[in-house]
A and B are shown apart, each in its own frame.
Chain A
Amino acid sequence: MEWAWLIPVFSFAAVPLIILFGKYLPGKGSPLAILAIAGGFALFCFVFIGWLGASPDTEGCSTSDYTGTLTCEYERTWFQAGLPGLSSDVDERIHLNWGILIDPLTLVMLGLITFVALMVQVYSLGYMHGDSRFSWYYAFHALFIAAMLTLALADNFLLLYVAWELVGLCSYLLIGFWFERPAAREAAKKAFIVTRIGDVGLLIGILLIWREVGSFSMTAAFEAVHSGVISQGMATVVALLLFAGAAGKSAQFPLHVWLPDAMEGPTPVSALIHAATMVAAGVYLVARVYPIFEASGDALMVVAVIGLITSLGAATIALVSTDLKRILAFSTISHLGLMMLSLGAFGYTAAIFHLLAHGFSKALLFLGAGSVMHSTDELDIRKMGGLRKVMPLTALLFSIGALSLGGIPILAGFWSKDEILVAVNDHLPPVFIVLTLLTAFLSALYMARAMFAVFFGELRPEHEHVHDAPPTMAITMFLLGILALGFGLISLDWPGPYDGIGTFLFFEEPEAFHFTVWLGVLSTVLAVIAFVLGYLIYARKTISIESIRGRLSWPVSLAENKYYIDELYQFVIDRVVLTLAAFIGFFDRAVVNDVAVNGPANLVRHLGVTLRLHVTGHVYSYALAMTLGAIVLALVWWMQSAS
Chain B
Amino acid sequence: MTPLVYFQLLSAALFVIGLYGVMARRSAVLIIMSIELMLNAVNINLIAAASHLEGIGGFVNFDGQIIAIFVITIAAAELGLAIAIILRMHRNRGTVDVDEMNLMKW
- B-binding residues in A (CB < 8 A): 612-613, 615-620, 623-624, 627
A-B contact count (CB 8 A): 29
19 A-B residue pairs with CB within 8 Å: A612-B106, A615-B104, A617-B99, A617-B102, A617-B104, A618-B98, A618-B99, A618-B102, A619-B22, A619-B98, A619-B99, A619-B101, A620-B24, A623-B19, A623-B22, A623-B23, A624-B23, A627-B19, A627-B23
Q: How far is the CA of A616 from the CA of B105 in the complex (A)?
A: 6
CB-CB under 8 A from B31, the residues of chain A are 619
In this complex, what residue of B is CB-closest to A614?
A: B106
Cα A613 to Cα B105 in complex, Å, equals 9
**Could you say which residues of chain B place their CB within 8 Å of the CB of A618?**
98-99, 102
Complex Cα distance, B105 from A169, in Å, reads: 61
Residues of B within 8 A of A623 (CB): 19, 22-23
User: Closest A-chain residue to B23, C-beta based?
Assistant: A620
The answer to whether A620 and B105 touch across the interface, beta carbons within 8 angstroms, is no
Contact (Cβ within 8 A) B23 A615: no
Q: How far is the CA of A620 from the CA of B23 in the complex (A)?
A: 4
Beyond the given A618-B99, A619-B22, A619-B99, could you list 4 further A-B residue pairs with CB under 8 A, ordered by the A residue number? A615-B104, A616-B105, A617-B101, A620-B23
The residue on A at minimum CB distance from B31 is: A619
Contacts of A616 in B (CB 8 A): 102, 105
**Closest CB-CB distance, B26 to chain A, in whole Å?**
8
Cβ distance B32 to chain A, nearest Cβ, rounded Å: 11
Q: Give the CA-CA distance A627 to B16 in the complex, in Å.
A: 11
Residues of chain A within 8 A (CB-CB) of B104 are 615, 617
How far, in whole Å, are A618 and B23 apart by their CA atoms in the complex? 9
Complex Cα–Cα for A617 and B22 (A): 15
Residue from the set A615, A620, A624 with the largest chain B CB neighbour count within 10 Å? A620
Shortest Cβ distance from residue A630 to the other chain B in the assembled complex, whole angstroms: 10
The 10 closest A-B CB pairs, nearest first, are A617-B102, A617-B105, A619-B98, A620-B23, A612-B106, A623-B22, A623-B23, A615-B106, A615-B105, A624-B23
A224→B86 CA distance, assembly (Å)? 90
Which residues 5-36 in B have Cβ within 8 Å of A in the complex? 19, 22-24, 31
- Closest chain A residue, CB of each to CB of B19: A627
**Interface residues in chain B, defined as those with a beta carbon under 8 Å from any beta carbon in chain A:** 19, 22-24, 31, 98-99, 101-102, 104-106
Residue in contact with B22 in the complex, picked from A612, A613, A615, A620, CB distance below 8 Å: A620
Which has the most chain A C-beta neighbours within 10 Å: B23, B31, B104?
B23
A624 proximity list for chain B (CB < 8 A): 23
For A615, list chain B residues within 8 Å (CB).
104-106
Residue of chain B at shortest CB distance from A624: B23
Q: What separation, in Å, do the CA atoms of A623 and B23 have in the docked complex?
A: 6
CB distance from B96 to the nearest CB of A (A): 12
A623 to B31, CA, bound (A): 11
Residues of B within 8 A of A620 (CB): 22-24
Q: Which residues of A contact B24 (CB under 8 A)?
A: 620
Kindly list chain B residues whose C-beta atoms are within 8 Å of the C-beta of A619. Answer: 22, 31, 98-99, 101
Identity of the chain B residue whose Cβ is nearest the Cβ of A619 in the assembled complex: B98
Chain A nearest Cβ from B95, distance in angstroms: 14
B102 / chain A contacts, CB cutoff of 8 Å: 616-618
B19 contact set on A, CB distance < 8 A: 623, 627
Which residues of A are found within 8 Å of B105, using beta-carbon distances? 615-617
Closest-by-CB residue of A relative to B103 is A617
> Residue of A at shortest CB range from B34?
A623
> Which residue on B lies nearest to A613, using beta carbons?
B106
A615 to B103, CA, bound (A): 11
Interfacial chain A residues near B22, Cβ < 8 Å: 619-620, 623
Contact partners of B23 in chain A: CB under 8 A: 620, 623-624, 627
Chain A residue at minimal CB-CB distance from B104: A617
Q: Which residues of B have CB within 8 Å of A617?
A: 99, 101-102, 104-105
A612 to B105, CA, bound (A): 9
Residues of B within 8 A of A627 (CB): 19, 23
Docked pose: A207 CA to B10 CA in angstroms: 89
With both beta carbons as reference points, the residue of chain B lying nearest to A621 in the complex is identified as B23
Bound Cα distance A589, B13 (Å): 64
Q: Which residues of A contact B99 (CB under 8 A)?
A: 617-619
- Complex formed: what's the CA distance from A619 to B86 in Å? 14
Q: How near does chain B come to A56, taking the closest CB pair, in angstroms?
A: 87
Closest beta carbon of chain A to B101's beta carbon, Å: 7
Would you give the shortest CB distance from B33 to chain A, in whole angstroms? 14
Docked CA distance A356–B58 (Å): 125
Whole-angstrom CA separation of A623 from B16 in the bound complex: 13
Q: Please name all residues of chain A whose beta carbon is closer than 8 Å to the beta carbon of B106 when the two chains form the complex.
A: 612-613, 615
Measured in the bound complex, the distance between the Cα atoms of B25 and A623 in whole Å is 11
Q: Closest approach, in angstroms, between the C-beta of A611 and any C-beta of chain B?
A: 10
A623 to B20, CA, bound (A): 10
Q: In the complex the two chains form, what is the Cα distance from A119 to B106 in whole Å? A: 79
> Which residue of the partner chain A has the closest CB to B99?
A618
Cβ of B30 to closest chain A Cβ, rounded Å = 11
Instruction: Kindly state the separation between the CA atoms of A627 and B101 in the bound complex, as whole angstroms.
Output: 21
- A41 CB to closest chain B CB (Å) equals 79
Residue of A nearest to B98 (CB): A619
- Measured between beta carbons, the chain A residues less than 8 angstroms from B101 are 617, 619
Once the chains are docked, how many angstroms separate the CA of A391 from the CA of B91?
A: 105
Taking the closest CB of chain B, its distance from the CB of A461, in whole angstroms, is: 88
CA distance A624 to B23 in the complex (A): 7
Give CA–CA (A619, B98) in the complex, Å: 7
Nearest CB in chain B to that of A618: its residue: B99
Q: What's the minimum C-beta distance from B85 to chain A, rounded to whole angstroms?
A: 13
Q: Within the complex, what minimum Cβ distance (angstroms) separates B20 from chain A?
A: 10
* Listed residue (B31, B99, B106) with the most chain A CB atoms within 10 angstroms of its CB: B106
How far does the alpha carbon of A616 sit from the alpha carbon of B102 in the complex, in Å? 8
Inter-chain CA distance A112–B104, complex, in Å, is: 81
Q: How far does the alpha carbon of A623 sit from the alpha carbon of B101 in the complex, in Å?
A: 15
A227 to B22, CA, bound (A): 94
Chain B nearest Cβ from A623, distance in angstroms:
5
| Complex: A617 Cα to B31 Cα, angstroms | 15
- Chain B residue, CB-CB nearest to A608: B106
- Docked Cα-Cα span, A492 to B58, in Å, equals 137
Residue among A612, A615, A623 with most chain B CB within 10 A: A623
User: Shortest Cβ distance from B31 into chain A, in angstroms?
Assistant: 7
A478 to B102, CA, bound (A): 95
Q: How far is the CA of A616 from the CA of B23 in the complex (A)?
A: 14
- Expressed in whole angstroms, the Cα–Cα distance for A615 and B102 within the complex equals 10
